[in-house]
Amino acid sequence: MNNIKIAGIGAYSPSLVVTNDDISKLVETNDEWIQERTGIKERRISEGEDTSDFAVKSAMIALDRANIKSEDLELIIVATISPDNFIPSVACLVQSKLNAHKAACFDINVACSGFLYGLEIANSMMKSMNYKNALVIGSETLSKLMDWTDRGTCILFGDGGGAAVLTRCEKGGIIKSYLRSDGSRGEALTIEAADFKTPFAKENKEKDRVIKMNGREVFKFATTAIADGVTEILKDSNLTLDDIKYIVPHQANYRIINSAAKKLNVETEKFYINLDRYGNTSSASVPLALNEMMEEGLINEGDKIILVAFGGGLTHAATLVEF
């Protein structure tokens, strides 16, 4: 069996729901203004749980649905920009909590494109190293990286995690992937790292470790990135949009998705959208959406789905999956 499929999906979000009215108590804004510009009504925010907690809880659900034991995992990849620590990785924390002692573990930092990058890395590694079972997770605690006085960012983001168990199959599964980056535009979306303080530095520099975004630049990049990703996947697979049941985009902003739909000359209803309830959860947004689709019975055996994402770096990605 040479193909790799998604055998189980799981997701977990914190219980605290923060509405637009709640946000309006922190910054000068209101529910109508936020919904009109983003489509977001509410988001989930952590009250103390960290990225590894969301990762483990979503992974346990995915493993149960895939009927795979954690000790049979051979690879764990966690996509995140908000790890518990620099070291150890979130993937290693997940391995320990799941007792997945055989698994190779590492994190990747591809921002909102991370889950799709993780799928293709796992797909390639499973084939090259003859692995049978892998776990790919997107998990974020973006609230701890937020400037809660910045109206341009604090209205957008939420916390949560989603996971996919990958196993081997005869046909279908992950059919095609498209991965791209443009580092020349990286300043459009940034989070600074540790302060630069050493006895040898000419100048000690304190870093502001919060999300900073040029919304206009990200919007221009994102609409083109979605359209390009979907178009390239269809071209490389010799398919049309009529062959695709759903497009599952990174859940950043309704206006971005609507603009991309117009570029593709397709109705917005072709896209699965749940950002109104979760906001932008970065690498977790695509698996969170897939989890809801599975629970709602929207995906059936044989359905072809295009996953598409864009994010900091700047990066973008698309993946064609047959379930």
What is the per-residue pLDDT across 202-221, written as a single tens digit (0 to 9) for each?
777 766 788 888 988 998 99
Domain residue extents for the chain: 3-171, 175-322
Strand segments (E) across 88-224: 104-108, 133-141, 159-169, 173-181, 189-190, 212-213
Q: What is the pLDDT of residue 189?
A: 85
Strand 75-79 and strand 104-108: pairing? parallel
Catalytic residue among 20, 92, 105, 112: 112
CATH number at 175-322: 3.40.47.10
| Catalytic residue list contains 250 | yes
Please check the confidence at residue 10 and state whether its pLDDT lies above 70: yes
Quick check: do 3-171 and 175-322 share a fold? yes
% pLDDT > 90, the chain: 86
Sign of the alpha-carbon dihedral angle for 37, 320, 294, 300: positive
Least confident of 1-10, 76-85, 210-219: 210-219
pLDDT 10s digits, 89-124: 999 999 999 999 999 999 999 999 999 999 999 999
- Cα–Cα separations (whole angstroms), residue 218 to 2, 215, 227, 307, 310: 38, 5, 14, 19, 9
Write out the H or E segment, with its range, that includes residue 307.
strand 304-311
Kindly give, in sequence order, each residue whose CB lies less than 8 Å from that of residue 124, ignoring residues fewer than 6 positions away.
none
CB neighbour list of residue 265: distance below 8 Å, 6 or more residues apart: none
For the residues 179-200, what does the mean pLDDT come to?
84
Above 70 in pLDDT, residue 61? yes
Both tokens of residue 141?
């605690």
311: pLDDT strictly greater than 80? yes
pLDDT-based confidence at 42, cuts 50/70/90?
very high
Binned at pLDDT 50, 70 and 90, residue 44 comes out as: very high
CA nearest neighbour of 319 among 303, 307, 302 = 307
- The pLDDT, as a whole number, for residue 11 is 98
Over residues 214-249, the pLDDT tens digits come to 988 998 999 999 999 999 999 999 999 999 999 999
Cβ atoms within 10 Å of 125's Cβ, excluding its own = 18
3-state class of 246 per DSSP?
strand
Neighbours of 83 (CB within 10 A): 22
Residue 197 has pLDDT above 90, yes or no: no
What pLDDT, on the 0 to 100 scale, is given for residue 207?
67
> Catalytic pick from 123, 133, 253, 280?
280
Instruction: Kindly indicate whether the domain formed by 3-171 is annotated with CATH number 3.40.47.10.
Output: yes
Active site residue: 250, 253, 291, 316, which one? Answer: 250
pLDDT of residue 192: 84
pLDDT at 1: 72
pLDDT recorded at residue 209: 82
**Orientation angle between helical segments 285-295 and 114-129, nearest 10 degrees:** 80
Where does the pLDDT of residue 193 fall: very low under 50, low under 70, confident under 90, or very high at 90 and above? Answer: confident
Round the average pLDDT of the chain to a whole number and report it.
Answer: 94
